[in-house]
Chain A
Amino acid sequence: MLGRILQLLLKEFLQLKRDKSARLRLLIPPMIQMVLFGYAATFEVFDVSTVILDLDRSQESRALIDAFVHSSRFRIAVPAASEREVRDAVETSDAQVGLVIPPGFAELLRKGRTAPIQALVDGTNSNTALIALGYVGQIAGSFSQDYARDLAQRTGRLQGKPMVSVILRERYWYNPNLNSRWFFVPGVIGTLALITIVNLCAFAIVREREVGTLEQILVTPIRPVEFIIGKTLPFFLIGLMEVAIVASVGMLWFRVPFRGNPFVLLLGTCLFLLAALAIGLLISTVCTTQQQAFSSNFFVLNPLFILSGFSFPIASMPPALQYFTYIDPLRYYLVIIRATFLKGVGIEALWHQMLALAIIAFVLLAAAVLRFRKSLD
C-alpha cells in the first residue's frame, strides 16, 4: 500500500518538475494577488474630492473650511460660486462630497446658537459615502467644540454655555490604527490557498480521466483510497508551501504582525487544506473534461468566497444565507488565520473553529472517496 502511494507521489512530483509553466502558475499568480490585495484592497477613505460653497464668507466659515483642508481626508477639488455649481460637480463626479455653508453661519455661532451646514454626498458608492460623511461629522464636531470653548473664554461665559459633553475615548485592540491591510492580508492567504488547491486537485484528476491514464491506473491493483492519497498528498504539501510563502510576503513586505503560535496556524491550515482537497476531489468526480472542471470550480469557489466573511460581515447577511456560511471551510479558516496573526490567541480560543473544520474536512473527504468509487462504475 505504502509502496504504491509512494510511486504515485514520485510520479506527481516528476511531472511537476517537468512542467515549468505549472511551477510558475503555482508561484506567480498568488504573489500578484497578494501584492494587489495588499495595496489595492482598503476600506480607508482618503482625499475625497470635495466642493465647498461658502455663502457666509466670514472668519468662522473660513476656519471651518481650513479644518477640512487640513484633515487629509478631503481634497477641495473645485471652488463653487453657487449651489448649482455644487450640484453639477457632484453630478459629473468631479466631487463626491459637496459642502454648503449658508449665510448667517458666523452670526449664529457668535450668539452661541446651533449653526447648520449642508453636506451633499454621492451615494453611488455607499461604502465611501458613509465613511466620508462620518469624517464630515467628526470635523464639524471638533470645530464646534473648539469654537464653543473659545467663545466661552472670550465672553467670560456669557455666550457659549459651558458644555457638558460625553467624550469617547476609543481604543482599537489588535489593530490600533485600524490598518485595513492587517485585516486583508491574512484573509488573502486563506483565499488564495483555497483557490489554488481546489483548482489543482480538480484539474489533476480530471486531466487523467480525460487522457485515459486514470482508467489505466484503475486496472492496476491500486485501491481507490491509495490513488486518492497518492494523488492529493502532493497538493497538500504544495498548499502548505504556498501558505508559508504568501504568509512570509505578508509579514516581511506588508509588515503584518504575526502574534500567535505558528503551530496553531499550522494545525488550522492542515485541516483547511484537507477540506479544500475534498472539494477539488468532489468536483473531479462530477466532471469528465477540464472544461467542465473549470466552470464548476468557478461556481463553487465564488460563493465560498462571498460567504466566508472575507470582506462582507456574516452578521449582516440574511439569516438564510448565514446558515450556508456554516458549511464554508473558509469561514472558519479566516477566523483562525486572522486570530493567530493579529490577536495572538491560542488553541483554547480557536478550538470551535478547528473542530468545525475537522468535521467539514472529514465529511467532505468521506463523500469524495465514496463518489470517486462510484464515478468509476
Chain B
Amino acid sequence: MNGAARIVVDRLVKRFGDFTALDGVSFEVAPGEIMGFLGPNGAGKSTLIRILCGLLHPSQGRAQVAGIDVAKDPEAVRTRIGYMSQKFSLYNDLSVVENLRFFGGIYGVGRERIDARVTEAVSMAGLSGREDTLVANLAGGWKQRLALGAAILHRPPVLFLDEPTSGVDPESRRRFWDLIHTLGGEGISVLVSTHYMDEAEYCHRIALISGGRLAALGTPRDIKRLGKEAGAEAAEPTMEDAFVALVGQAQGGRAAA
C-alpha cells in the first residue's frame, strides 16, 4: 500500500514488564476500509487499539494514525479519531442530548455546527423524540448506537470500535453494522475488534491476532482459504473453522519454536 493509508502500523511492540502484549505487528488501513480484529481474549487486540488511540505508548516500532505519529503527538491523534469501547461509556445520569452536547464540546465541535450534529446523531441512533430521556433508561442497542453517534460527532477520519456489540441482541447488532458500513461508505476508516465470527464476515479485511502477533491478514475469503491450508478439515471451512485452525497453528508454531 502507499502513503494514502489512514493507519500505518509498523513492527509495533508493546511490553508490560516481562510480558510482551504485542510482538512486531505490521499492517495498513486504507480510507473507507473496515478492518476487523479477531483473536482470542488477551491476544493483544485492545492493547493495539489503545496504542493507536494514544492511550498507551508503544515500546518499539511506529504507528501512524491519520498521518500523525501516535507516540509523538497523541493529543493531535485524538482530535482525529473516534473511539467506542466495550464498556458502555456515556453518562447514565445525563440525557441523550446532554451526553452528545458534552462530548461534542469536549471534541471542540463549534457552536454553529453542534445543533445539526446532535440532531444527526440522535436520528442515527433512532432516538428522535427521546432526546431528553436519561441514558440510564435506554435499552442496550440504543445505547450502543448513541455511543457510536457520540464518537463521530467531530467527524473523525478514523474510528476505533473495541468490541462494540458485546451483549447486544442480534437485530441491534445487524443495525449497528449497517451504520458501520454507511460510515465506511463516507470514507471513514473503521477498525473494529470483535468476538463474533459472523461479524468478521462484514469486514473488508480481517487481522487475526494471536499471542501478540499477526497470525493472518486478508479478506474474509482469504482467511478461510488460509484456514484450510492451516488444516481446517471441512471442505468449505466457516470463519470459525478457519479461526480455530489459524490460532492453533500460530500457538503450535510458537510452542515448537
Contact = CB atoms under 8 A, between A and B. Distances in A.
Contacts of B87: 211-212, 215
B173 interface: no
B89 A216 contact: yes
B81 interface: yes
A252 interface: no
Query: Which label, helix, strand, loop or mixed, suits the secondary structure of the A interface?
Result: helix
Looking at A8, A11, A218, A220, the one whose CB has the most chain B CB atoms below 10 A away is A220
Contacts of A11: 91, 94, 98, 102
A15 B98 CA distance: 10
A376 to B, nearest CB: 7
Interface residues of B, number: 28
Contacts of B107: 220-221
B78 A221 contact: yes
Contact of B91 (A6, A7, A15, A215): A15
A377 B57 contact: yes
A15 B105 contact: no
Nearest to A227: B106
Contacts of B132: none
A118 interface: no
A220 B152 CA distance: 11
B99 to A, nearest CB: 9
Interface string B97-111: 010001101111000
A92 to B, nearest CB: 57
B85 interface: yes
Contact of B93 (A3, A15, A223): A15
The listed residue with most A CB atoms (<10 A of its CB), out of B92, B106, B108, is B106
B102 A10 contact: yes
B83 A219 contact: yes
A216 B56 contact: no
B81 A219 contact: yes
A237 interface: no
B79 A221 contact: yes
B68 interface: no
A221 B108 contact: yes
A216 B143 CA distance: 14
B93 A19 contact: yes
A175 B172 CA distance: 71
B83 A216 contact: yes
A4 interface: yes
Interface string A134-167: 0000000000000000000000000000000000
Nearest to A17: B93
B78 A212 contact: no
A217 interface: yes
Contact of A14 (B53, B83, B98): B98
A18 interface: yes
Contacts of A19: 93
A211 B98 contact: no
Nearest to A216: B89
B90 interface: yes
B55 interface: yes
B90 A213 contact: yes
B88 interface: yes
B85 A4 contact: no
Nearest to B89: A216
B56 A377 contact: yes
B75 interface: yes
A3 B55 contact: no
Given A15-B93, A219-B78, A3 B108 contact: yes
A220 B105 CA distance: 10
Nearest to B84: A216
A124 B12 CA distance: 70
Contact of A223 (B55, B75, B88, B89): B75
A376 B75 contact: no
A222 interface: yes
Given A220-B78, A223-B75, A377-B56, A7 B106 contact: yes
A220 B76 CA distance: 10
A25 to B, nearest CB: 15
A213 B81 contact: no
A212 B89 contact: yes
B26 to A, nearest CB: 23
Nearest to B91: A213
Given A215-B55, A221-B108, A377-B56, A15 B94 contact: yes
Given A11-B102, A211-B87, A376-B55, 7 more contacts: A3-B105, A10-B105, A14-B94, A216-B85, A219-B54, A219-B55, A221-B78
20 contacts: A3-B108, A4-B106, A4-B108, A6-B105, A7-B102, A8-B106, A15-B91, A18-B94, A211-B89, A212-B85, A215-B85, A215-B87, A215-B89, A216-B103, A219-B53, A220-B106, A221-B79, A221-B107, A222-B106, A377-B56
Interface of B: 53-57, 75, 78-79, 81, 83-85, 87-94, 98, 102-103, 105-108, 160
Interface of A: 3-4, 6-8, 10-11, 14-15, 18-19, 211-213, 215-223, 376-377
**A-B pairs, 5 with minimum CB distance:** A212-B87, A7-B105, A216-B89, A219-B83, A212-B89
